[in-house]
Amino acid sequence: MVSPIRSCPSGRIPHVAVVVPCYNYGRYLGDCVSSVTRQRGVSATVHIIDDASTDGSIRIAEELADRNRNVSVTEHDKNIGHIETYNEGLRQVDSDYLVLLSADDILPPGSLARATSLMEHHPAVGLTYGHPQAFTELPAPSPARARSWSVWHGGKWIDMQFRRALGIISSPEAVVRTSVQHRVGYYNPDLPHSADLEMWLRIADVASVGRVNGPDQAYRRIHDMSMMTTNYGTLLRDLVERRKAYDSFLQRSLLPEEIRSELKRKVYLRMSDEAFEWAAEVASRDRSTTADVAEAVELARQLNPGYRSSYAYRDYVWTSAAPEAGKDVREIPAVIAGRITRTLGPRVRWRRWRRFGY
């Protein structure tokens, strides 16, 4: 459902608690915290949790707290890792809404007011997000006014995510209703790469989901030491971790068994095709086989036992030097369909995500 923008009820100032986990990101802390404390239309508090940084982050955090009564700091004596740090902060939150904001990310002006306005008018919404702008040096200017709101029933949103088989929320743009967060629990430590994806699905299992359409709702910093570039750089690893997240959600979901089975079928088919598409793309540039490609192909076969009828598989066979490659001309229409999907599919999905959020 797409609805027009409405202002918050008169006199109502929502309280948003922002948890800022920090490990060796002291150089970014000032920009991160000031982007929160300068938010208008909400009462925003910041809790910095320093996970035993070695770069002087705690000194910077304490200086920020000394200058602003809405900033508090917790220091760890030893490093406990990002998931446990996240959960420590989330368990302590007592507010209307909450945000988990990495110390290297920034909130655009007005983002919290836009998100909470949607949630104030739609009490069934437990999670609201928007477009996150990735940046390296300085974010590009973003419109200040939202174009519209989108609100989905949780079950509908879950189905869209399983069809896509790829997370659509990077994290800093997500605003969660605190009561819903405490109801569904926190980040799963067994999912160090994909815990956020699994948690958004758990929230949608008990609440509706909203999106602010138009302006950027977060600025996500890209740099050499970010978690995505240092720990989870290959498609194969990403597919494996995503599968764990979807499986974990389905095991815990409140949805009926027949719906969960259908969701699993959908997401496995899409991930299988994605693995074949990636293998074909690699083969189109270099026909030598790498270990990652071979493992991705094997994973694709496991995910879809009927893979031989897949257009993505037929494209892979024709494009690669796969042992089973049989150049039967009757396969050409299917190969062309697979190649078109491989080439245009990512662009279509990106444009849909950028404009509509799914």
pLDDT tier at 229 (50, 70, 90 boundaries)? very low
Is residue 2 within 8 Å of 150, Cβ to Cβ? yes
- Could you tell me which residue, 52 or 346, shows the higher pLDDT? 52
pLDDT at 230: 40
pLDDT digits (tens, 9 = 90+) for 336-357: 787 788 888 888 888 888 888 8
Mean pLDDT to the nearest integer, 151-178: 95
pLDDT at 328: 64
d(CA 71, CA 60): 12
- Could you tell me which residue, 157 or 9, shows the higher pLDDT? 157
Mean pLDDT to the nearest integer, 211-231: 77
d(CA 357, CA 211): 7
pLDDT at 330: 62
pLDDT at 83: 96
24 in helix, strand or coil? coil
pLDDT at 287: 56
pLDDT at 12: 82
d(CA 177, CA 18): 12
pLDDT at position 4 over 70 = no
State how far the alpha carbon of 147 is from the alpha carbons of 2, 120, 200, 211, in Å.
10, 17, 24, 11
pLDDT at 357: 81
pLDDT digits (tens, 9 = 90+) for 19-35: 999 999 999 999 999 99
pLDDT at 17: 98
Query: What's the angle, vertex CA 85, arms to CA 358 and CA 48, rounded to 5?
Result: 95
**C-alpha 25: how far from chain center:** 21
pLDDT at position 332 over 60 = yes
pLDDT tier at 235 (50, 70, 90 boundaries)? confident
Of 7-16, 29-38, 64-73, 238-247, the least confident: 7-16
d(CA 162, CA 246): 8
pLDDT digits (tens, 9 = 90+) for 310-328: 999 988 888 876 655 556 6
Burial of 206 (0-12, 13-18, 19+ CB in 10 A): middle
- Could you tell me which residue, 227 or 267, shows the higher pLDDT? 267
pLDDT at 137: 82
d(CA 172, CA 21): 12
pLDDT at position 272 over 80 = yes
Extract the tokens encoding 316: 């892979």
Second CATH level (architecture) for the domain 10-233: Alpha-Beta Complex (3.90)
Please state the domain extents for the chain. Answer: 10-233, 256-356
d(CA 76, CA 90): 16
Of 46-60, 89-103, 224-238, the least confident: 224-238
pTM of the shown model: 0.90
pLDDT digits (tens, 9 = 90+) for 117-132: 999 999 999 999 999 9
d(CA 265, CA 34): 45
